Structure 1
Amino acid sequence: MDSNDYLYAGITIQNMAHKGVAVAVFMVFCFVLYNTRNLMKEKFFDFKEATTPTAVKFPTCKLPENLFRNEQMSTIRKPNLTQVVSVLNNTKRNKCIDKVKWNHASDFSYFNIPSFHFCVKSNIHPEKVRQFHYERLVITGNYNIISSFFSFLKRKSEVIIIEIGGYIGQTLRKLIPVTGAKHYVVIEPVPTFYKTLNKNIRTLNFNTSVKTYNFGLSRNHKELVVGVVGDATHMLKKSNLKTTEKVQLVGVLDFFIQLGVGCHRIDLLTINCEGCEFEVLETLISTNLIEKFDFIQFQPHYFAPNIGNFLCRYCSLRQLLARTHELVYDFPLVWEAWKRKH
């Protein structure tokens, strides 16, 4: 074999190698395209049983086209909550209700499907997930993250914080000195806790305007009976517990509009309300009010009653929230915080 034969053989091998790479790339492309096409065909996910000994059946989850499509045909009504005062004195008389709009009804895109799918699979055992991340929270020394994370707010002036589910004031007691908040609004629906909350606030020596309200939040006004079990008190339509109290719930939009949120940016919305976080956040997301909150932190409650399929609802909520905010810390099913995108 002369030098020309060797050269020809080398070129032939090189061409075959190039063809092999091209074929491999083409096969990978077809595989990705095939799987993407299958995902795009389906809006229902029927997760099959795992093959491990501890296999569980995954739930069937439907990606909502939009949670508020029917409501968007109505107008934003003027709130009827005369007991609620504006968070700042310079709020317009009409509470900027003319600036509050329904968000455009946009469907979930197919790019949301993989992360939604991953969220459902990751939280299939919520009690174990919560326990793991609670221990992680403690081990990493972040036990006070719901207050310590926001210490940078102290560099700002006129910091505004709204707390949903004040209980007897533990979060308020930590957040105010850490953030230097000048305006703090807190609601607590259970009358017994509300009285203790106000009593505890009177013992604090903070240079902060604190306003408290004795009601909870829901999509609509209603009255419920709650079973009182400390900071795990649930909102129930009926309760078998011996210790119960009646609570008043007011509309989410009515409350935030009456506060004047349409006129102002809120530095932090913190929510720990044993399940009401879904109706609060979903309703805010249905309007442009969601864009008024620079930071939102909340505790998801998988064990709260009357929330339906927790996994599907929780993972859908994260997809919706990601449209306007991005995660800044995440201890799944314990506490998580989101920052408004600029």
Structure 2
Amino acid sequence: MAHKRETVAVFVVFCFLVYISMNMMTKKDYDLKETAVKLPTCELPENLFRNEQPSTIRKPNLPQVIPILPITKRNKCIDKVKWNHASDFSYFYIPSFHFCVNSNIHPEKVQQFHFERLVNTGNYNITSSFFSFLKRKSDVVIIEIGGYTGQTLQKLIPVTGAKHYVVIEPVPSFYKTLNKNIQTLNFNTSVKTYNFGLSGNRTELDVEVVGDGTKMLKKSILNTTEKVQLVGVLDFFIQLGVGCHRIDLLTVNCEGCEFDVLENLLSTNLIQKFDFIQFQPHHSAPNIGNFLCRYCRLRQLLARTHEVVYKFPFLWEVWKRKE
């Protein structure tokens, strides 16, 4: 009984300290608004997922997508894919959410600082070299979102010894070059490419074509545009058979679509199928809303199932699935 009272007392003190820190942070935010920089208005990191979600997962309609492994069940294990329960963040998460927003208030400066930090490491190929340990495994599976013309693929396959590699690139001209480059490679790897992008819903968009910085636009406003097809995030991954298999690495670099991709995966138990998730957050991408609020909320959602392995903010970060 005495031990229980001590535990309760410690918990009460902890809650009080959290309450005090929240109040102090609120005042600090107010002072910053008045004297330094204008902070974005962020809602608390409430539940991401819609209340009207159906009880069952919709069957995908993407017959052109081939399951990543031949042993995939005919129904793509759709019966194993479940919506994650709608649970709000506790008050213990709120201070760290605000800290994330406040510490990244100038994303351009944060990005420049960590770019110099990355340069100082001398490891310019960290997005591929980090995963060299995968070569000790057999049947490594990698999915790349935003393949561009194949630069990442050409590094990751020899470093990891991947046996199965899926890459999507929505821009038709890039996709054409990507396939040409793949044909010149001499890898013992099954590589499958798809010419579409991922979004919350199936749609069609114009893109401003500016090399690897190509961005999605709501409508065509420049002459240098191409039309791209977007398909549902969950439809794509379910049709691939991710519900049946563990994926060694998901790497995402798609000029803002990383939010749609990861948020949709986080809304289901598919997120737990990825051992490693590597992505590049794009703070200047159009049509993503309030970047800081969305980015910080995404990190806290991802922390429920994964933990950070390395991080160069607004350049690259890698998360490992918790055991």
State whether TM-score is above 0.5: yes
Q: Give the Cα separation in 2 of the matches to 1:93 and 1:32.
A: 50
Q: Give the Cα separation in 2 of the matches to 1:181 and 1:191.
A: 25
Q: Give the Cα separation in 1 of the matches to 2:257 and 2:270.
A: 18
Contact 2:21/2:95 (8 A) holds in 1: no
Contact 1:164/1:272 (8 A) holds in 2: yes
Q: Give the Cα separation in 1 of the matches to 2:158 and 2:53.
A: 40
Q: Give the Cα separation in 2 of the matches to 1:177 and 1:113.
A: 42
> What residue in structure 1 maps to residue 252 of structure 2?
271
The one-letter code sitting in structure 1 at the alignment partner of 2:307 is E
Q: Give the Cα separation in 1 of the matches to 2:287 and 2:52.
A: 21
Match of 1:316 among 297, 302, 305: 297
Contact 2:246/2:273 (8 A) holds in 1: yes
> What residue in structure 2 maps to residue 120 of structure 1?
101
Q: Give the Cα separation in 2 of the matches to 1:73 and 1:95.
A: 19
1:255-334 matched pairs, under 5 angstroms: 255-334=236-315
In the alignment, is residue 140 of structure 1 matched against residue 121 of structure 2? yes
In the alignment, is residue 150 of structure 1 matched against residue 131 of structure 2? yes
The one-letter code sitting in structure 1 at the alignment partner of 2:230 is L
Alignment RMSD, CA only?
2.2
Q: Give the Cα separation in 2 of the matches to 1:64 and 1:274.
A: 23
Contact 2:18/2:92 (8 A) holds in 1: no
Match of 1:246 among 227, 251, 255: 227
* SS state at 1:284 partner: helix
> What residue in structure 1 maps to residue 166 of structure 2?
185
* SS state at 1:50 partner: helix
Contact 2:76/2:238 (8 A) holds in 1: yes
Does 1 or 2 have the higher relative contact order (CA < 8 Å, sep 6+)? 2
In the alignment, is residue 98 of structure 1 matched against residue 87 of structure 2? no
In the alignment, is residue 33 of structure 1 matched against residue 16 of structure 2? yes
In the alignment, is residue 226 of structure 1 matched against residue 201 of structure 2? no
In the alignment, is residue 204 of structure 1 matched against residue 185 of structure 2? yes
> What residue in structure 2 maps to residue 174 of structure 1?
155
> What residue in structure 1 maps to residue 3 of structure 2?
none
Contact 1:134/1:334 (8 A) holds in 2: yes
Contact 1:220/1:252 (8 A) holds in 2: yes
For structure 1, the residue ranges without an aligned partner over 5 or more in a row are 1-28
Q: Quickly say closer, same or farther: Cα 1:304–1:46, change in 2 above 3 A.
A: farther
Q: Give the Cα separation in 2 of the matches to 1:339 and 1:75.
A: 28
Q: Give the Cα separation in 2 of the matches to 1:322 and 1:34.
A: 23
The one-letter code sitting in structure 2 at the alignment partner of 1:267 is D
Divergent runs of 4+, >2 A: 29-32, 37-40, 44-47, 49-53, 69-75
Contact 1:86/1:259 (8 A) holds in 2: yes
Q: Give the Cα separation in 2 of the matches to 1:66 and 1:276.
A: 20
Deviations along 1:245-272, whole A, 9 cap, x unmatched?
A: 0000000000000000000000000000
Match of 1:47 among 29, 37, 41: 29
* SS state at 1:262 partner: helix
Which one is further off, 119-128 or 60-69? 60-69
Query: Residue 38 of structure 1: CA displacement?
Result: 7.9
For structure 2, the residue ranges without an aligned partner over 5 or more in a row are 1-11
Which one is further off, 261-270 or 31-40? 31-40
> What residue in structure 2 maps to residue 62 of structure 1?
43
The count of residues paired between Structure 1 and Structure 2 equals 312
Structure number with bigger Rg:
1
Contact 1:161/1:185 (8 A) holds in 2: yes
Q: Report sequence identity in percent.
A: 79
Q: Quickly say closer, same or farther: Cα 1:310–1:45, change in 2 above 3 A.
A: farther
Contact 2:55/2:83 (8 A) holds in 1: no
Query: Residue 71 of structure 1: CA displacement?
Result: 4.3
**TM-score, scaled relative to structure 1:** 0.87
* SS state at 1:62 partner: coil
* SS state at 1:162 partner: strand
The one-letter code sitting in structure 2 at the alignment partner of 1:203 is T
Q: Quickly say closer, same or farther: Cα 1:193–1:45, change in 2 above 3 A.
A: farther
Which one is further off, 268-277 or 30-39? 30-39
**TM-score, scaled relative to structure 2:** 0.92
Q: Quickly say closer, same or farther: Cα 1:116–1:241, change in 2 above 3 A.
A: same
